[in-house]
Amino acid sequence: SQQGEEDPQALSIQEGENATMNCSYKTSINNLQWYRQNSGRGLVHLILIRSNEREKHSGRLRVTLDTSKKSSSLLITASRAADTASYFCATDVRQGGSEKLVFGKGTKLTVNP
């Protein structure tokens, strides 16, 4: 099963509005990352938040992390049409002596001009 689960699966907003996406995970983590993917293309790293951090900002992005609830949120403020993309959270998971980055299924954001 997926380590990270984003919510909602899809979000449609108007340009200028804020968009909030949530991610829940199951096991303890070292860090949590958010990525963006434009339709059928490679992913772009947005931000990394470490397990001992509670909030992080990067431009119009704000990420929070609540390790007690095993959840994170990504807020995009003053959204633009160019923000239309799918957004994924990713966590590092150790399993059976192996480590891997596990992605959620993503939130598809549509920003209408």
Partner 1 sequence: KAGVTQTPRYLIKTRGQQVTLSCSPISGHRSVSWYQQTPGQGLQFLFEYFSETQRNKGNFPGRFSGRQFSNSRSEMNVSTLELGDSALYLCATGTSGRFNEQFFGPGTRLTVL
Q: What's the rounded Cα separation, in Å, for the pair 77 and 75?
A: 6
Give the nearer residue to partner 1 in terms of CB position, either 96 or 113. Answer: 96
The verdict on 42 binding partner 1 (CB under 8 A) reads yes
Q: Does 10 bind partner 1 (CB under 8 A)?
A: no
Q: Which stretch binds partner 1 (CB under 8 A): 11-19, 43-51, 60-68, 72-80?
A: 43-51
- CA-to-CA dists, residue 104 to 59, 67, 69, angstroms: 23, 17, 17
Bond from prior residue into 113 cis (ω within 30 degrees of 0): no
Q: Phi, psi at residue 82, to the nearest 5°?
A: -70, -15
Nearer residue to partner 1 within complex by CB, 44 or 82: 44
- What mask of x and - would describe binding to partner 1 in positions 48 to 77, judged by CB under 8 A? x-----------------------------
Task: State the DSSP code for 24.
Answer: E
Classify burial at 65, counting beta carbons within 10 Å of its beta carbon; exposed 0-12, middle 13-18, buried 19 or more: buried
Please tell me whether residue 98 binds partner 1 under the rule CB under 8 A.
Answer: yes
Q: Kindly tell me which residue out of 84, 87, 106, 109 binds partner 1, with binding defined by CB under 8 A.
A: 106
Footprint of partner 1 (CB under 8 A): 2, 30-31, 33, 35, 40-45, 48, 88, 90, 92, 98-106
